[in-house]
Structure 1
Amino acid sequence: MFWSEAALSTRTSSTSGTLAPEGITVDASYGCEVRQYEYHGAWVIVAAGEYDMGSITPLREALNTAARQYPKVVLETSAVTFADSAFLNLLILTHRQTGRLRVVAPSAQVRRLFEISRLGSVLEIRQTIEEAAAS
């Protein structure tokens, strides 16, 4: 289920079950969805859907902006259903720009890409947004 299909009054985080903060911005174009908000000094980006060369733009824009403005960038990927080399390339570039990209709750698809590419040994992988923001 995409965030746009959920009732706004229940804004729950997929990783912790807690209410997501107010002020969330959403981009639900290109068959994917990007939500973003600040959490304890970290900029959190929640990605959902399919990411390839044709749909990566909203996520790229969100990560580029976050990397320029925040020392901590957290990418929550539990709802990413497809990702390819465009997604991996974006994560590598963001990691280089921030010095430390935190990826939260990678979906099975994302975990598999990390295993194949060995990117999981480079990025900081966390189970919850709270844990990533605190690190």
Structure 2
Amino acid sequence: MPLISTKGTYGLAAICELSKHKDDSPMQIKEIAQNAKIPQNYLEQLLAKLRRAGIVQSIRGAKGGYVLARAPEDIKVLDILIALEDDLKIVDAKVEHPIINLFFEDVRESVKDIFDINITKLSHYQNKFLNYSI
């Protein structure tokens, strides 16, 4: 099992799109799906989980859609991944060896530290992308 499934990667892409949206109006799910290249039906499920976790807020009505529930500086990549993945798993099961179990626990905590950045830091990668040349 991979560390982060499509739930996590698609969820991060959706939140990235919402954080880039500078307009005060909500972003419609169709637009998020199109920009992030996520199947719309799957995105609906992910946004429901992110709403329950307090990361996004849904606005009803003809001009409705989704907005971030908090400032981008207050939303961490780790929050998104845990909301969608339930937890970050390095291995699927405990092994019978206590030293190896302790090692994997340390690895899991190290991975959490890596993802403990707010989503505004993702703009660094956008700048890298824009400056990328072949």
Greater share of residues in strand: 1
TM over 0.5: no
TM-score bracket for this pair, using the shorter chain length = under 0.3
Specify the structure having the higher radius of gyration (Cα). 2
Give the number of the structure whose residues are more often helix, by fraction.
Answer: 2
TM-score if structure 2 supplies the norm length? 0.28
User: TM-score under structure 1 normalisation?
Assistant: 0.27
Bigger relative contact order, structure 1 or 2 (CA pairs below 8 A, ≥6 apart): 2
